[in-house]
Amino acid sequence: MRKLCFFQVMCLFVALSASGLAAGAGAQAKQTSPPQASNASGAATQTASDPNKVVLKVGNTQVTQADINFLLGSLSPQARKQVESQGRRAVGQQYATMLVLSQAAQKQHLDASPAFQKALEQHREQLLAELEYQNLLSKAAVSPTEINQYYTAHQSEFQEAQVREVAILKARPGQNGKGPGLQPQEAEARAQTIRKALASGEDPQQVAQHYAVPNEIIVDAQPRTIQNVPTLPAFAKAAFDLKPGQISPIHDTPNAVIFFQVVGHPSLTLEKATPQIENTLRQEKVNAEVNELKKQFPIWMDQDYFGPELGSSNTTP
């Protein structure tokens, strides 16, 4: 599992600083409680404690538990899962490294450079925009009636297909057989062979055991579910026209040749589709609010620099 990216933590620290939540340099030392006990994964055990408790010091800079909790809350769900698995020590180590570099930069007065000031201003604008976007998102309420209406009007989007996918990786040009993947003609031939085996009714588990090669030939014995959303590639949309047991034509892509076998056609119920519909409608409401804001703050762009508007041949500012 990947460790939490240092630059991801660094970007979050900039957000903390801009929000006034990061510990300030030159702060007075505080008395701290004994360290919390750690479990096997390195994560501190959950105990009631003061959010203002200092949990990290780098030089004269102090970081409180509230600061770290704010940072953890700002991580993506995937990154939070990594922290839950690996423990908070990795975050603390990366945070400390960031503060060391920051303090070294301040000693060299890099924070007084025009480049830093420009970047700081741009980050401020970005952070304010993100806060306003979240504000609009929190106000975009979606009613059950709107959800029902959307579900009824977009029935095709909630069709699902269970498919077994087969993918044969193609060798990259110039590898000369030293890297993973097959030559294009060999990959096509292997795909035809596997397709015939599935079409003959051979057990998918046996087909996978016989033909699958790690990192080269993928044969999904267990089906996965895809949804008929507008962004689904045209090749994959064929799954909704095929009957259970039928197999798609072989599709050639730059990196692999792929095909799939349809297993079934379940439908996404209104109850299961509600979170997705709610997110879609909320996004539409936010987009509408943003468009209204753009009317309040007229936008002009120099088309000689940015180019003409998409779909327009007019280049006059």
Query: What gap in Å lies between CA 138 and CA 136, rounded to an integer?
Result: 5
pLDDT for 311: 64
Q: Tokens 């979170």 appear where?
A: 275
Burial class of residue 242, CB neighbours in 10 A (0-12, 13-18, 19+): middle
Which residue ranges form the domains of the chain, and what is each CATH number?
Answer: 1-27+50-108 (no CATH), 160-264 (3.10.50.40)
Residue 182: strand, helix, or coil: strand
Closest among 186, 150, 152, 155 to 168, alpha carbons compared: 186
Q: Residue 63: what pLDDT?
A: 92
> Are 262 and 242 in contact, with CB atoms under 8 Å apart?
yes
Residue 48 is predicted with a pLDDT of 53
Give pLDDT, residue 298.
Answer: 87
Question: Residue 54: its pLDDT value, please?
Answer: 93
Residue type, 187: A
Q: Give CA torsion, residues 137, 139, 143, 148, to 10 deg.
A: -20
Within 10 Å of residue 216's Cβ, how many Cβ atoms? Answer: 18
pTM, to two decimals = 0.59
pLDDT 10s digit of each residue in the chain, 317 long? 334 444 444 444 444 343 333 333 333 333 333 334 444 444 444 445 788 999 999 988 999 999 999 888 888 888 888 888 888 898 899 889 999 999 999 999 999 999 999 999 999 999 999 999 999 999 999 999 999 999 999 988 899 999 999 999 999 876 665 678 899 999 999 999 999 999 999 999 999 999 999 989 999 989 999 999 888 998 999 999 999 999 999 999 999 999 999 999 988 899 999 999 999 999 999 999 999 999 999 888 988 998 887 765 554 44
- Looking at residue 296, its amino acid is Q
